[in-house]
């Protein structure tokens, strides 16, 4: 329960901190930290407009997408505190409930019949598909290392291990940050700020969404970011008491947002054709973890 609430709180500030970091890095003052949330709140109070050519799929997809994120959040623990639900192999549930949400957002994009959105959908499908092995090899290696199969048990037992576990956590941290950037369609894979439909991935899929639906999708993205932040935080927290783990949780979320902002400020986006290579490279990094575990 605790992790669910904390992720929600962290999500409220996440995009604001990313945007502020980018503004400061480019020498501007930038909007207030809460501005992205105000925009979402404004969207949520509006009605949505639907095209005549789209079907029911398009109308229910944003809600399913949002629900899938909430469902995935339920299994994320916080140190010694279990998530709302915790069962063996819950990380498989985590990955596929997210995939379910993504599936609906992809078919909703295809449902609009726009040539842009079809392109975005195919890109999103490809890149998420390529990111999947990295996530499973990573979680599988950690499971093998600790002998457990649920998020909570894996993270709890990670810290009783040897020096090897520190090395593995470092790689896991990097891979998770990158998966987080891919899943949230941020740089260097996708540019959330661009106005050019032809180069977008995620943004182009939601071009036709408006009002309440758009608000849901944007808030879902914030939640997703904070959720991956929580996973990364879990790599460090272990069984610390709450008065330590909660500040550490927020500290790591804050750092993740700043890292995202800095990456987006000081480098160019990858060429679309190189994205696949880059994402596959994450899988090979995850494989390195697996070999490390097997050797120990």
Partner 1 sequence: MDFISIKNNQRIKFAEIPVLAYADFFNVVTNQLMEKPEAHCVSYFGIPAENNVQLLCCIADDASASINVLSSVVSKTDTLQSITAKYMSFHLFEREIHENFGINFDGHPWLKPVRYPYNAADKSQTMVNYPFYQIDSEELHEVGVGPIHAGIIEPGHFRFICNGEQILHLEIQLGYQHRGLETLMIEKKKLLQRATLAENITGDTTVGHSVAFANAWESLCGFTADKQLQMERAFAIENERIAIHTGDLSGICTDIAYQLGNSVFGRLRTPVINYFQRWAGNRFAKGLIRPGKTNFPFTNDLAAQWKEMISAYKPHFVEMAEQTFDLPSVLSRIERTGIVSPAVAHQIGMVGMAARASNIVRDIRASHPFGHYANIDYKPVLEPVGDVYCRARIRYDEILRSIDMMNDILSTMPYDHKPATTLDKAEPNSFVVSLVEGWRGEICHCAITGPDGDLTHYKVKDPSFHNWLGLALAVRNNEISDFPICNKSFDLSYSGHDL
Q: Which residues contact partner 1 (rule: CB under 8 A)? A: 22, 25-28, 115-116, 118-119, 122-123, 187-188, 191, 193-199, 264-274
**Minimum distance between the CB of residue 110 and partner 1, rounded to whole angstroms?**
13
**Minimum distance between the CB of residue 280 and partner 1, rounded to whole angstroms?**
17
Nearer to partner 1, 195 or 241 (CB): 195
Nearer to partner 1, 20 or 123 (CB): 123
Cβ–Cβ under 8 Å, residues 281 and 114: no
Nearer to partner 1, 27 or 47 (CB): 27
Nearer to partner 1, 257 or 289 (CB): 257
**Minimum distance between the CB of residue 122 and partner 1, rounded to whole angstroms?**
8
Nearer to partner 1, 26 or 170 (CB): 26
**Minimum distance between the CB of residue 279 and partner 1, rounded to whole angstroms?**
15
Nearer to partner 1, 82 or 123 (CB): 123
**Minimum distance between the CB of residue 197 and partner 1, rounded to whole angstroms?**
7
**Minimum distance between the CB of residue 266 and partner 1, rounded to whole angstroms?**
6
């Amino acid at each position: 329960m605790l992790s669910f609430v904390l992720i929600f709180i962290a999500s409220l500030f996440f995009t604001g901190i990313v945007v502020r970091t980018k503004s400061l890095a480019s020498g501007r003052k930038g909007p207030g930290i809460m501005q992205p949330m105000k925009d979402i709140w404004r969207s949520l109070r509006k009605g949505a407009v639907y095209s005549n050519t789209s079907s029911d799929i398009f109308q229910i997809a944003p809600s399913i997408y949002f629900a899938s994120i909430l469902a995935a959040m339920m299994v994320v623990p916080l140190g010694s505190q279990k998530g709302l639900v915790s069962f063996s192999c819950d990380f498989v549930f985590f990955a596929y409930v997210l995939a379910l949400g993504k599936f609906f957002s992809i078919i909703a994009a295809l449902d609009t019949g726009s040539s842009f959105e079809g392109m975005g959908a195919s890109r999103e499908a490809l890149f998420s598909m390529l990111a999947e092995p990295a996530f499973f090899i990573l979680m599988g290696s950690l499971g093998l290392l600790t002998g457990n199969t649920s998020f909570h048990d894996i993270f709890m037992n990670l810290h009783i291990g040897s020096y090897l576990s520190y090395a593995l956590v470092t790689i896991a941290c990097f891979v998770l940050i990158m998966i987080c950037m891919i899943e949230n369609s941020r740089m260097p894979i996708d540019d959330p700020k661009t106005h050019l439909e032809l180069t977008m991935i995620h943004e182009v899929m939601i071009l036709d969404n408006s009002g309440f639906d758009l608000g849901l999708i944007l808030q879902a993205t914030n939640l997703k970011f904070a959720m991956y932040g929580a996973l990364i935080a879990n790599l460090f927290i272990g069984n610390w008491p709450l008065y330590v783990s909660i500040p550490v949780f927020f500290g790591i979320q804050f750092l993740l947002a700043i890292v995202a902002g800095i990456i987006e400020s000081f480098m160019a986006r990858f060429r679309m054709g190189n994205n696949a290579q880059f994402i596959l490279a994450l899988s090979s990094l995850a494989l390195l973890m697996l070999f490390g575990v097997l050797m120990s």
